[in-house]
Structure 1
Amino acid sequence: MVKAPTVEDVAERAGVSRQTVSNVLNTPDIVRPATRERVIAAIHELGYRRHAAARRLRLRRSSTIGIRLDPYLGGISGVVLDRFVHAITERASERGMRMLVYAARTREEEIQRLSELWEGSEIDAAIITGTSRDDPRVRSLDRDGLPFISFGRPWGEDDIADPHHLWVDVDGAAGTRAATEHVLARGSDVMFLGWPAGSGTGDDRERGWREAMTAAGAHGDRLTVVEDVPLARACVEAALAAGPVPDALVCASDSLAVGALLAVAAAGLSLPVTGFDNTPTAEALGFTSVEQRPEDVATAVLELLMGPTGEIVAPRTLEAGSAHALITPELVVR
């Protein structure tokens, strides 16, 4: 039976001390970059992996990160978060960490559940999703002292130049900007179908459309509707009937795009409709959509929460330019 590689084996391969290997695993920021890279290379070459149970006993940590399992909504919504939870679980396991998935129907329940998990030493950190302006979870976690990071900016609670929290987000404006620039090749009248004002994510996606339209000297109407396929269809049907008919539509989500496509088909028209999220629905129906890359989000979340090679929760220092990661989405043209 082949013996599993040890810390000593890694140290010998990298030409460093055992303590240096430990520092790379637990507090990588204190190790010189060249040395850190050498140790990382040795870890990969040998296939070294820590024994998670022994580590938990030694460090008196749970080696567990909590994340809420959102209620099942059915339909098109929720695919991106499902992919994110799957990816974060895989990547955390590679670092010897476990994910604790809990259920909560409301934010109040989520706050209570996180408080219980933290007080019971069941988690070392938390990941929150679906952030909004003045998010009450942010204030509660700050008060409890529970290390956390959000998938989505804590809108209204943070600033890139003066960060108060760790976050990873997808650059929604970059996504809709790319989508708008793509359809502007067809004509200058591009309609945007988004959500009512006040949603940080929705406002950001609308901003990308506006920036692309302004840069091109183009024009187009803005329609808003809640996330609902029938309502989106009715909204676009009314706009098409009132005229003029736009050259293309850019939507804030794939759900809205499906509603728009149904309206376009009912009107007997053929217009390009672009969605956002690149769900299996977009692939099945064959319309262009913006891919959020949740797997890259998962990688960035763990790097900010644990360091690039760390195996314990050691949140990044809150410094401008390094306390967040903004993932650039990809336009998938069909």
Structure 2
Amino acid sequence: MAKAPTVEDVARAANVSRQTVSNVLNSPGIVRPATRERVELAIAELGYRPHAAARRLRTRRSSTIGVRLDPYLGGISGVVLDRFVHALTERASERGMRILLYAAHSPAEEIERMGDLVDGGEIDAIVLTGTSREDTRTSWLQERDVPFVSFGRPWRDDDTGEPAHPWVDVDGAAGTRAATQHLLDRAGSRIAFLGWPEGSGTGGDRASGWAEAMLHAGASGPRWAVEESLGLARDVAGAELAADPAVDGIVCVSDALAIGAHLAATALGRPELPVVGFDNTPAAEALGISSVEQLPEQVAAGVLDLLMGATGNVVVRQGLDVETAYVLVEPRLVVR
């Protein structure tokens, strides 16, 4: 078995001292960028992994990132967050970090739980999910100076030009633009959008992609709204399709709504009506429904890059530089 690379091996490869390698691993902010990049490259090329337990004792860091475990609500689309947490755990482990899952049923309860973990020195950073425009969790973390990244943008007026905090999100508008263009090319010019009621940042983002694609094509189609429910989607889509049989296809804000729309079309004798969902869940795949894949594995990678740098293995406090404060992952359309 080949000998595992050591700090000395990294120092030799990067042409620096052992202390410089240690600084890059434990206090990267004090190392000149060019030197840090050279050491990080040597670490990556050699596959060096420091001993996690020793590093925790030496640096007094927990080497742990906290993530809330969302309450189980059933349904179809929850699989995306499950995949995200699995991917985050795997990729954090590759960097010598651990993921600590905690439960909370409200923002206030989550803040209390985060306070216990931070005060107890159990975590170095937090990953938030389920962001909103007036998110009390983000303001609490900023006031306490706790490093964090959110899966979901802040939903402010300009999240890219003036990010309120580090974030990673899926470009929902890009996904629905691709889905709409696919149906325009394949099915016809009258494409409907089945989305959530007004007030959802994510829902509004996805609806905007459909609207942009339709405007660009000079086409028109109805926009329907319903809560996240397969049954309600089936009822609403059924009534709308019966009243407007000229609809050529439907782009949906989620797979649950897409399945409901597909069932409604089938009941009306139009099983061939093309429907596109969002999330690419196993249920959509089983029914042969096209869907937008969120790529939660890429989201997890982006979260760790913002917290630790591209190759780092400790949490680094980073500023809100516009070019490095967020990652927008472009999803892909899976056609069936």
* TM-score, reference length from structure 1: 0.95
Q: Distance in 1 between matches of 2:142 and 2:28?
A: 25
* AA in 2 matched with 1:119: D
In structure 2, how many angstroms separate the alpha carbons of the residues matched to 1:300 and 1:202? 22
8 Å CA contact 1:27, 1:310 repeated in 2: no
**For residue 230 of structure 1, what is the aligned residue in structure 2?**
231
Return 41-50 or 220-229, whichever deviates more. 41-50
5+ residue gaps, structure 1: none
**Residue 64 of structure 1 contacts residue 97 of structure 1 at CA under 8 Å; is this kept in 2?**
yes
Report matched runs for 1:113-192 at 5 Å.
Answer: 113-156=113-156, 159-185=159-185, 186-192=187-193
* More moved, 108-117 vs 151-160: 151-160
CA distance in 2, matches of 1:192, 1:156: 24
Question: What corresponds to 1:328 in structure 2?
Answer: 330
- Higher mean alpha-carbon deviation, 20-29 vs 55-64, is at 20-29
Equivalent position of 2:82 in the other structure: 82
User: Against the structure 1 CA distance between its residues 283 and 65, is the aligned structure 2 distance closer, same or farther, given a 3 Å change threshold?
Assistant: same
Residue identity opposite 1:293 in structure 2: L
Q: How does 1:177-326 map to 2 (within 5 A)?
A: 177-185=177-185, 186-269=187-270, 270-326=272-328
Deviation at 1:245, TM superposition (A): 3.0
**Structure-2 separation of matches of 1:82 and 1:265:** 30
Match of 1:184, SS? helix
1:103 partnered with 2:99: no
Check conservation: 1:225, 1:232, Cα contact below 8 A: yes
SS at the partner of 1:92? helix
Q: Is there any run of 5+ residues in structure 2 with no aligned partner, and where?
A: none
SS in 2 for 1:169: strand
| In structure 2, C-alpha distance between the alignment counterparts of 1:217 and 1:4, rounded to whole Å | 61
Shift of 1:120: 1.1
Shift of 1:72: 1.2
Looking at structure 2, the residues matched to 266 and 301 of structure 1 have their Cα atoms a distance apart, in angstroms, of 43
**Shift, 1:159, TM fit:** 3.0
* Length-normalised TM-score, structure 2: 0.94
Tell me which moved more, 98-107 or 24-33. 24-33
What SS is found at the alignment partner of 2:138? helix
Determine the structure 2 residue equivalent to 1:60: 60
Whether the 8 Å contact between 1:227 and 1:255 is mirrored in structure 2 is yes
Partner SS for 1:188: coil
Percent identical:
66
More displaced stretch, 173-182 vs 237-246: 237-246
**In structure 2, what is the Cα distance between the partners aligned to 1:140 and 1:33?**
31
Q: Tell me which amino acid in the other structure corresponds to 1:191.
A: A
Contact 1:28–1:307 under 8 Å retained in 2: no
Q: How many residues align?
A: 334
